Amino acid sequence: MIGTNEERLVEFLLQCQPGQPRTRGNWEVDHQGVPFLLPSIGGITLNIQAGDGAFGWEGDHIEPGVSCTADTLKPFEHPNVGLQMYSCAGNRATVMTGDAKGAEGTVLGHHGGSEHVIVDFSRDVKEKLLYSDTIIIRGRGQGLKLVDYPEIALFNLDPRLLHAMKIREAEDGVLEVPVTTMVPPVCMGSGIGSAHVAKGDYDIMTSDPETVERFGLDRIRLGDFVVLMDHDNRYGRAYRKGAVSIGIVVHSNCLEAGHGPGVTTLMTAASPLIRPVVDSEANIADRLGFGTQLKAG
């Protein structure tokens, strides 16, 4: 097992509730200049979950599962900022009220702009939820470190998910990390330049069909672990030749220019200390046993 400092991590109870589906209430325009009116961010999304494809939905920026907020009226203020920063992929979530009381789910990550934490619950649980219900997340993971790899930075990652990712220590001193998709640096768009990656995400741009086909971007699933080549996420989101970042896909493909499947950062290094290894089951649903699993199909 890879050595960590997990026994010293702080664990918070974070309180939130499902956020209503959002819309700007007007036409939006895709990267071809075509206007559209489609479902978008937020909501209790009944028919989409971790493991489902990120492409092909009649929607834009669709957040699978339950989009959670601590204060939908003040998304960029306390307590929602704390919810965003301290919720980590792989955290356990529990419904505390209503007909779904006691049901458990799993955090996928967080989506910038909407300032939602995305939590996966099974459909039968989602059918019972109300937007007034209370959900508690066991926020644990920020501050996680790899004891023997100090130059690899971790963010937004629950230790139980880290240990489930099937990461292997190679003989040449690098970590081999299973991913489904190798994302070229030119494809990273909305979200670049952010000061840090402890909340929000940034998008894999999918406006160029040739690049999408060449790198198999349209095969990405929600919850996939993907590698962002030549991207350094240690102190924000930036291009750096030789850097490697690993993230998890938290929302669907998009129609707007500069956007596409959203990625929450999990691991990053400024030099090639992380070696991506392609694995079709490198998805949180397959690794933790929920949602839509390839091995179950």
Give per-residue pLDDT as tens, 59-94: 999 999 999 999 999 999 999 999 999 999 999 999
Residue with tokens 């004891």: 147
What CATH number is attached to the domain comprising 50? 2.40.10.170
CA distances to 128, 145, 172, 215, 257 from 183, in Å: 37, 25, 24, 7, 18
Q: Please tell me the distance from the alpha carbon of residue 290 to that of residue 124, in angstroms, as a whole number.
A: 13
Give per-residue pLDDT as tens, 1-19: 899 999 999 999 999 999 9
Phi, psi of 95 (to 5 degrees): -80, 130
231, 195: one domain: yes
**β-strands 92-95, 104-111 pairing:** antiparallel
Residue at 296 is within a domain:
no
115, 46: one domain: yes
Residue 296 has pLDDT above 80, yes or no: no
**Range 28-41 average pLDDT:** 96
What CATH number is attached to the domain comprising 219? 2.102.30.10
Give per-residue pLDDT as tens, 35-62: 999 999 999 999 999 999 999 999 999 9
The predicted structure's pLDDT at residue 122: 98
Residue 297 has pLDDT above 80, yes or no: no
**Range 204-226 average pLDDT:** 98
277, 164: one domain: yes
83, 16: one domain: yes
Instruction: Find the domain containing 119 and state its range.
Output: 6-140
**Range 186-190 average pLDDT:** 97
CA distances to 24, 57, 252, 263 from 260, in Å: 18, 12, 7, 9
157, 284: one domain: yes
pLDDT band at residue 24 under the 50/70/90 scheme: confident
Helices marked H in 87-170: 123-126, 159-164
Residue at 163 is within a domain:
yes
Residue with tokens 């965003």: 84
Q: Among 21-25, 153-157, 281-285, 293-297, whose mean pLDDT is lowest?
A: 293-297
**Range 117-121 average pLDDT:** 98
The predicted structure's pLDDT at residue 6: 98
The predicted structure's pLDDT at residue 224: 98
Tokens of residue 235, six digits = 């102190």
22, 95: one domain: yes
Helices marked H in the chain: 80-86, 123-126, 159-164, 209-215, 284-288
Give per-residue pLDDT as tens, 253-276: 999 999 999 999 999 999 999 999
The predicted structure's pLDDT at residue 269: 98
112, 164: one domain: no
**Range 116-127 average pLDDT:** 98
DSSP letters, 161-221, are: HHHHS--EE-TTS-EEEEESEEE-GGGB-TTTT-S-SSS--EEB----HHHHHHHTGGG-B
The predicted structure's pLDDT at residue 5: 98
